[in-house]
Each structure stands twice: as C-alpha cells, then as structure tokens.
Structure 1
Amino acid sequence: MKKVAKYLLSPFLKRFDNIHYGINENKSGIDNLLMSVKNMQDFFVTEKEKEQLALSHITDELVILKEQIETLKLTNKSLDTISSGVLELLESPVKGEDAERIFSLLNIISKKNSYNKIKPHVLFLIHNMNTWYSVANLFLELSQDPDLKVTIASIPRSFPGVEGYSGEEITSAALSKIGINHIRISSYSDKEISTILTTLSPDVIFRQSPWDHDIPPGFSANRINFAKLCYVPYYAVNIVKNISSGTDFDFQSNQDLHNNSWRIYCDTQYAYEKLCKNSLLRGVNARYFGHPKLDYIHTKMKETGDSEKKSGITNILWAPHHSVDQGWLSFGTFDKNYLDFLRYAEENNNVHIKLRPHPALFDFMRAKSDEIKSNVDYFLSKWASLNNTSMDYDYDYVASFDWSDILVTDGISFIVEYPLFHKPSIFIENDNHAEFNELGILAAKCNHIANDFASVLFFLDKFNDGSLEDKNNEIAELESIVLPNKGMVHQIIANDIKSNI
C-alpha cells in the first residue's frame, strides 16, 4: 500500500516540499495547506460513515496533521514533523478491499488539489500511430492554447501474437517524421512508469484504446486514474452488437478505461446511448459531438477532390483485418484468400495492389503454427518480388485512400471510413463475423458486398468497365449520422475540455 499511496499522494507531497523551501517568502502557502488538509479530513469523515473500520485510522492521522500545521503557523518551525506524519499515514496497515477503497479516495484527493498550478497539463499516450487520426487534430488544437501545457509521449505496445512490449521506437520515429515534439517512455517497468508519470503530474491523460493488455500495466486505467482520463475511440464507428460471441460483456462501454474516464467522446449518438445504458457510470462521463477521425477524413476528401485514374492502371488498396479466428469479431478472411490475391497480381499487369494489413495480422498468423508461418513468409516474399504490388505500413492511411481507385477489405473501420472519400469499396464478408448493429448494416450497404474471391473479381471487372453501381444515397445517409459537426469536432471537444478542466 505504501508504494501506491505515495504515488497517488505525490502531487500533494511535492507541493508540500515547495511550501517548506519557500516558507519565509510565502507564509500563505501554510494557510493553503491547512485548508487542503481540512478538506481532506472532511472528505474522509464523510466516507468514514460508510466504511468506519477501513477509514478510522486515516481520519485520526489527518486530525493530527491538522494540529501540527496549526502549531506551525504559530511557531514557524520546520515542516519535518508534518512530513513524518504523512509518512506514518502511508504506513497504515490497510489491506485487501479496504486498501483498494482508500486508493480510490486518494485518487479523488489528488484530482482536487491545485496548489501552485500555473496551467493545466494534458498528456497524450500514443502507442499506435495507425489510430493517430482519432486524436491528431484534437492534440494540435489543445497544443495551440497558451493556457494549457500539452505533452505527447510515445509508449510501448503488445499486439496479439507478440510476446512482451515493443514498438515505442516506431511510434517515436513516426511522430518525429511529422514534426511532433514528444517525450519517449520506452520502459515497461511499473516502477519506472510510475516515477515518470508522477514527475509529469498531468491533470488530464488521453489514452488511445480501452485495451489494457495492449500496453504495459503501468499505463492501465486503474494505475493512471490519479488524473482525469479522456478517451476518443480509436475506431471510426462501432458497427457490431458485441465484439465477442462468447460473452454478453460490453467491451465498447464497460471496460476499466470507460469506467475510470472523466470524459469519453463517443463516436455516434448510437454509441452514446449504448454507453449510457451499459456502462457502470451510465454515461455521466460521456459526450457526443462527432468523431475527430471521420471529420478529418471528410475534410481531407474535400481538399483532395477526385483523383484522376491512371491510364490503363487500376490502383487497388487491399486492407485485410487480423480477426481470422472464430469468437472474436471474426471479420478476417486473409487466411482464405491471400494466395488468390497473389495469383491475381501475378496474372494482371494492369493493376497495382497496395496491401495494407492490420498491424497485428502477420504476427497473429505466424503465431498459429510453423506451417502457417512458413506460408505467410512465402507469400510476403513473393509479394515483394512483383512490380505491381506494394506494402503500406505508414500511419497515414488517408494518403493511401487518396492514391487508390478502389478498396477491397474485410473490415472493420474501413467499411465506414473509405466510403467517406466517395470512392467505391468492396467488402469481403466473413459469414461468421460478429453481428452488425444498425450502423454496421448501413455501413455495409455503402460497400459492394462479396462473399468470396470470385465475387471480388466480378466487382473489379464492373468497376473497370464503368458499370459498377454507385452508392451515393447510402453514403449520404451514413454521413448524416456520423458527421454532425463537419470540420469542427476537434474544436468542440477541445472547448469542452478547457471549460471543464
């Protein structure tokens, strides 16, 4: 308990030290400290009525601490005795569920303290540049505000099929490439992460996804909730009723990040209503203004306009998902058709196919068996040897949207995002995928739905001869739902943060 409690009280103790060193110059700091301890005492007394046994010791210690500060005001003596009183408080023998409850209370206290704050500090934790567009414009908007301090940090990750944590250097390089000044947190040690975050002492922390297992435990929702947590969904729109067929648990509304967040900026009105219904907090921390990523894509589409199709060449963007197993989303079809795509590229020089895999796809496939690993490596070797094929690992997939003439994908986000570019897309539908919600049904209708590779070829042929049916009506309906504040979503979210922080 001592380690965690010190971590949670660190902003308080740091400010305590500041008062100690500047006592002769700023005696008002003592009054502020006294008021804070009194507020802490009142808070704990209220909680004491709920959990008498668990909180009796800490309440008594706060009384002693208050009396010591009163004495200090009269004698102007050293604050060492008060510091030792705080340390005794941290040594209190509280265990089990009582300890977890007190940790939660200490989190609340740390959020209420505001000593010597010059400006609020907002920290963005970035582990996956492929979802950068969800927060990019919001980060830039907040960074331009002179009344805020905004920091961005690259951190390690662990995707399915990979042991341990890595990839921080890739994220850092991508941020540097686009001119984003950032700090690097390459460690996955709980102790070192705790030290760094305590030193940074952010008031607000943005995380990119609700999946705690994708990042080191030191960044988990329950470890960083000393700050006000914010979350913008990394995906464009939630289009399924439930991610997993093996449980009724709502992964999009009720994970630890959702229930520890100060603000969740929902992707659609539909998602907002689901979160209000299913989350532990019943949506009191949720807001809906639109999705910054979709807003950016729509704006980029208007800026670039319709790119001219190269004479005699069809640029195909192929984007397979990683969920090739049953039970978890199950949209992926790569294991069924990757050799078909290879054969098609080998036999057709009038196409260029750019393969943009889900970041976890190849590692996930390789982890299945030695045989599958060998087959995937063979495919990648052959793919790299062709003149009319390429790979796209860059975070900036919107650039590939602009480059391409048509998309072929098995989901998930791209069947929502790519139609907003007003270009045709082919959705290879896995019959076993997680059931669509009402938005998923609409998104699918914005694409040409194929059930196998033969139907993919059918739609490609119709595209090449100019007879492919347009989906303008369906896309217009989708836009009316997912783009409520065109061009302004990031500004509206930034204003909500600044006015409520």
Structure 2
Amino acid sequence: MGKIRTFVGKTIPTPLKNILKEWYWRNKVHYIKLPYEKKAICALKGKKKIRVVFLALYKSVWKYDSLYQLMKADERFDPIVLVCPIVNYGVKHMLEQMEISFKHYKSLGYNVISSYNKDSDTYIDLEKDLQPDILFYTNPYKGLIDNRYYIDRFPHILTCYVPYGFNPVKFEWTYNLNFHNLLWRFFCETQITKEMIDKGSFTHGINCVVVGYPLYEKFCKESIKNFGLWKEQEQKKKKIIWAPHHSLEDCGGLQLSTFLSYYKFFFELAQKYFNDIQIVFKPHPLLKEKLYQHPDWGKEKTDTYYKEWDSHPNTQLFEDDYIDLFKTSDAIIHDCGSFTTEYLYTQKPCMYLTNGHNLEQYNELGKQAFNCYYHGNNASDIISFIEKVVIKGEDTQIDARKDFFIRNLLPPNGLTAAENIINEIKKQIQ
C-alpha cells in the first residue's frame, strides 16, 4: 500500500493531486464531518456542564490561560488540562517535558492530569476516562503528540485549535494539514489570516473564525506579575532579548535561524556594552534538541553553551513563559516566526536577523510585521541598532509599530480573543 501511495504521489501532477484532494475533502466534509458535528452539537444543547479538555504539550507554547480562566469562572464549562506525551525526541525527553509541564500547570491552579503513568506504563483513555465534549489542541503536527491523542481519533468530538504562534509564514503546514481541515473550529488571529485560509485550504476555511490572538489580553490587559526576571545590575541598563529560532536547517520550507552565525557574537556584545545593556538568551524550545543532533555541536557543547549564559553578570538564560519578559524588556533581536508579530504587542524597538530569504517565506501579515522591524543583515547592523535605537533612543520605526498594532492586533467585536471564542462556542450549542 505504501509503495502504491508513493508511486501515485510521484506520478500524478500536483495540480491534479490538489483537485483530487479538494474533491476528497468536499465529500468528507459533507457526508462525514458535518453530520458528526451536528450530532455532537445536538447532544450538548441540553447539557448543563460542557467538559473541555485542553491537550497540553510544551508549557512555553501554551496560549490558553485566559480562555481556561474564563471557562473556569463560567458555570457552563468544566475545563481540564491533560498533559500529553511529546514523542518525537524519545522517552527521556517525553518524561522530562511532561514533568515540567505538569508542575507548571499545577502551579497555575489548573485542574491538570497527566496522560501517562510512569509506574504502571499506562496511558489515560481520553474518551472513556475523561469523556470530553470539546477538545482544544495546542499543536497541529502529527508525530509530535502521541498518536492515541491525535485529532483523527475523535471525529465525533468537537475539536478546536488556536495557533500556538502568531503565524507570519505562508506555508500550507500552518493552515492546511489534515489536522486543520478536521477541526470543528479553527480560531484564527486576523482577517488577513482568514483570507489566506479561505483561499488556500482544502475546506476553504469553512471552520475558520476570526477571534484575535489570546496573548492580546496577556500583553495588553494584564499587569506585570514578575518584575524580577532580569539579573540585578549595579546601574540601570537596557534590557535586550536575543531569541534565536530552531530551524538550523530546512524545516518544511522554513529556515529562519541565524544562530550559528551569531552565537559567539552576542557574548561579545554583552562584554562590549557591559555598562549599557544586559542580554537574555531566550532560545526556541526546540533549539536545544536540534543542537544536540547537530554534527558540530552535540549534547556536551550545547549544555556548556547554555550554562555560560548564566555565568556573566549581564547575561542570562531564560526558558520560561515569556510574556512578562517581553513586557519588562527594552528591545528584542530575533529570527523567530511567531515573535515577529507577538513582540509588536509591546510596541518596543525590535530587530529581525535576516538570512537572505525571509521574505520568501512570509505571508501578507508577516510581511507587514517584518516591515515594522529594523533588519539585521550582519554584525554591523546589530551594533548600529544597539547603539542608536536601544541606547540613544533614535527610534524611527515607532509609528509603523503603532499603526500595525491598531490595524492587526486588536481583537474583533471590542472583546478579548478568549471572550470571542467562548461566545462562538455558546452560539453554536445554544
């Protein structure tokens, strides 16, 4: 069967494959997906409590706190966080991340359950043990979460998803995987994003609803909870975040990372401007694993490098939730995807480190966000940004950032994203 699928995949022209896929999804939606959803909705209309299970993976990409809190306060909902196995980097990594995530969600006061029992080597049966009415996924990729919890196992349960990052790229794997088309509700960030999904997905965005981005309320509605994230300095210094992406090599067309070009340089910057700046190293959660596997790095070199960031007075490593880190910073330098848009919530100075083909990868929203940034093509550009913009305050891009915020980052309906999501769910099940 696998050989036949490979042969067909290689011999059928791409335009014809796309036509066949659209035909497949049109029939799947009409004859299977919508009838299942209609039946599930009918079952919920008379139900007093709607059980919502959030399938959590890495704590660093959790975007549902405001939604969870609203549901917890609403008598109609019974929210549960289920910490699920991350299986693509081996058992050791899986157990480490599940423990980290479980402790984190427990500390937030969530009703949290671990899906895996290490002592008995058993997994929770999601459907039988928890009996969910609605599932919220935190990541769309098959092969990352354990298959027993993947969306294709639950066609008769209402499934939802808010992107784990504010998507600036145009690749179909951000909106047109089987996962995205199987969703009951695909909650997207902006009208520009929805237009891309409507045009490019096989189901033409039939399940897509614009609600805004849940981190809006974290950035703009909540006060800073932790001011003590940065190392204390003997004198006031500008706080700069360096956030390198994990895509050292091509990742499904995505190749943003400039880490290998600058990993030594940022230590040099911290030393050169010791009296003026302090730098936080905020790596993408997957960067460490990628470096472990890199032929020129490996585990020992990677661990040593990470530890070194905590060994200097004005540098530090930061791998936790980044909202308050962003809000207490003075600037960011990065090459990440979602941070391109997310940092613009702060409206503070920002530099994007380019690698020669970033614009080829951006969608329309990503291009608009990118144009609000200072662009770092080399070390001289980074030095200029630090000296002129960060230290001296000669910020010529401030108006562009403010304009982008007003046009693209304010959620619709005068509500928060979480409020829009809850309203959409209630509208459908009433």
Q: TM-score category by the smaller chain? A: 0.7 to 0.9
Cα-to-partner distance string for 1:101-134 (whole Å, 9 max, x where unaligned): x9989966973773995522111111122122x2
Cα shift at 1:193? 4.6
Q: Structure 1 residues 477, 424: CA separation in 2 closer, same or farther (over 3 Å shift)?
A: same
Q: Structure 1 residues 200, 467: CA separation in 2 closer, same or farther (over 3 Å shift)?
A: closer
Cα-to-partner distance string for 1:284-342 (whole Å, 9 max, x where unaligned): 2111121122343232479999xxx9854121111111012135311111111101112
Q: Structure 1 residues 372, 302: CA separation in 2 closer, same or farther (over 3 Å shift)?
A: closer
On the 8 A contact 1:409/1:426 being kept in 2, the answer is: yes
Task: Give me the whole-angstrom Cα distance separating, in 1, the residues matched to 2:263 and 2:123.
Answer: 40
What does 1:326-341 align with in structure 2 at a 5 Å threshold?
A: 326=250, 328-341=253-266
Moved over 6 A (4+): 102-106, 160-164, 301-305
> Residue 218 of structure 2: SS of its match in structure 1?
helix
Q: Does 1:481 find its partner at 2:408?
A: yes
Task: Give me the whole-angstrom Cα distance separating, in 1, the residues matched to 2:392 and 2:93.
Answer: 49
Cα shift at 1:476? 2.6
TM-score, with length taken from structure 2: 0.81
Task: Give me the whole-angstrom Cα distance separating, in 2, the residues matched to 1:180 and 1:438.
Answer: 37
Q: Give the corresponding residue for 1:490.
A: 418
Task: Give me the whole-angstrom Cα distance separating, in 1, the residues matched to 2:418 and 2:34.
Answer: 32
Residue in structure 1 matching 2:355, options 430, 439, 451:
430
Task: Give me the whole-angstrom Cα distance separating, in 2, the residues matched to 1:131 and 1:381.
Answer: 23
Q: Structure 1 residues 371, 184: CA separation in 2 closer, same or farther (over 3 Å shift)?
A: closer
Task: Give me the whole-angstrom Cα distance separating, in 2, the residues matched to 1:161 and 1:340.
Answer: 32
Q: Give the corresponding residue for 2:24.
A: none
Cα shift at 1:227? 0.9
Cα-to-partner distance string for 1:423-450 (whole Å, 9 max, x where unaligned): 1111111213352222112111222111
Residue in structure 1 matching 2:84, options 155, 168, 173:
155
On the 8 A contact 1:339/1:379 being kept in 2, the answer is: no
Q: Does 1:277 find its partner at 2:205?
A: no
Cα-to-partner distance string for 1:446-495 (whole Å, 9 max, x where unaligned): 22111122211111011354252232321233221231335522112101
Task: Give me the whole-angstrom Cα distance separating, in 2, the residues matched to 1:312 and 1:260.
Answer: 51
On the 8 A contact 2:238/2:391 being kept in 1, the answer is: no
Q: Give the corresponding residue for 1:120.
A: 50
Structure 1 counterpart of 2:290, one-letter code: F
On the 8 A contact 1:156/1:215 being kept in 2, the answer is: yes
Residue in structure 2 matching 1:234, options 159, 164, 168:
164
Structure 2 counterpart of 1:131, one-letter code: V
Q: Does 1:171 find its partner at 2:95?
A: no
Q: Give the corresponding residue for 2:291.
A: 365
Cα shift at 1:374? 4.6
On the 8 A contact 2:61/2:165 being kept in 1, the answer is: yes
What does 1:188-227 align with in structure 2 at a 5 Å threshold?
A: 193=123, 195-227=125-157
Q: Which one scores higher on RCO, CA 8 angstroms, separation ≥ 6?
A: 2
On the 8 A contact 2:306/2:317 being kept in 1, the answer is: no
Q: Give the corresponding residue for 1:462.
A: 388
Gaps of 5+ in 2: 1-30
RMSD: 3.3
Residue in structure 2 matching 1:405, options 327, 330, 345:
330
Residue in structure 1 matching 2:319, options 393, 403, 409:
393
> Residue 104 of structure 2: SS of its match in structure 1?
helix
Task: Give me the whole-angstrom Cα distance separating, in 2, the residues matched to 1:472 and 1:487.
Answer: 26
Q: Structure 1 residues 394, 372: CA separation in 2 closer, same or farther (over 3 Å shift)?
A: same
Task: Give me the whole-angstrom Cα distance separating, in 2, the residues matched to 1:491 and 1:276.
Answer: 23
Task: Give me the whole-angstrom Cα distance separating, in 2, the residues matched to 1:372 and 1:442.
Answer: 37
Cα shift at 1:231? 0.6
Cα shift at 1:421? 0.8
Task: Give me the whole-angstrom Cα distance separating, in 1, the residues matched to 2:291 and 2:56.
Answer: 25
Task: Give me the whole-angstrom Cα distance separating, in 2, the residues matched to 1:184 and 1:338.
Answer: 36
More displaced stretch, 338-347 vs 418-427: 338-347
Task: Give me the whole-angstrom Cα distance separating, in 2, the residues matched to 1:368 and 1:461.
Answer: 33
On the 8 A contact 2:244/2:259 being kept in 1, the answer is: yes
Q: Structure 1 residues 374, 184: CA separation in 2 closer, same or farther (over 3 Å shift)?
A: closer
Task: Give me the whole-angstrom Cα distance separating, in 2, the residues matched to 1:149 and 1:270.
Answer: 33
Q: Does 1:290 find its partner at 2:212?
A: yes
Residue in structure 2 matching 1:499, options 404, 423, 427:
427
Larger helix fraction of residues: 1
> Residue 186 of structure 2: SS of its match in structure 1?
strand
Same amino acid, percent of matched pairs: 26
Work out which of the two has the higher radius of gyration on C-alpha atoms and give 1 or 2: 1
On the 8 A contact 1:317/1:406 being kept in 2, the answer is: yes
On the 8 A contact 1:161/1:364 being kept in 2, the answer is: no
Task: Give me the whole-angstrom Cα distance separating, in 2, the residues matched to 1:160 and 1:426.
Answer: 31
Count matched residues. 388
Task: Give me the whole-angstrom Cα distance separating, in 2, the residues matched to 1:105 and 1:274.
Answer: 22
More displaced stretch, 462-471 vs 202-211: 462-471
Structure 2 counterpart of 1:340, one-letter code: F
On the 8 A contact 1:345/1:353 being kept in 2, the answer is: yes
On the 8 A contact 2:224/2:327 being kept in 1, the answer is: no
Cα shift at 1:371? 4.2
Q: Structure 1 residues 489, 416: CA separation in 2 closer, same or farther (over 3 Å shift)?
A: same
On the 8 A contact 1:424/1:470 being kept in 2, the answer is: no
Q: Structure 1 residues 417, 201: CA separation in 2 closer, same or farther (over 3 Å shift)?
A: same
> Residue 494 of structure 1: SS of its match in structure 2?
helix
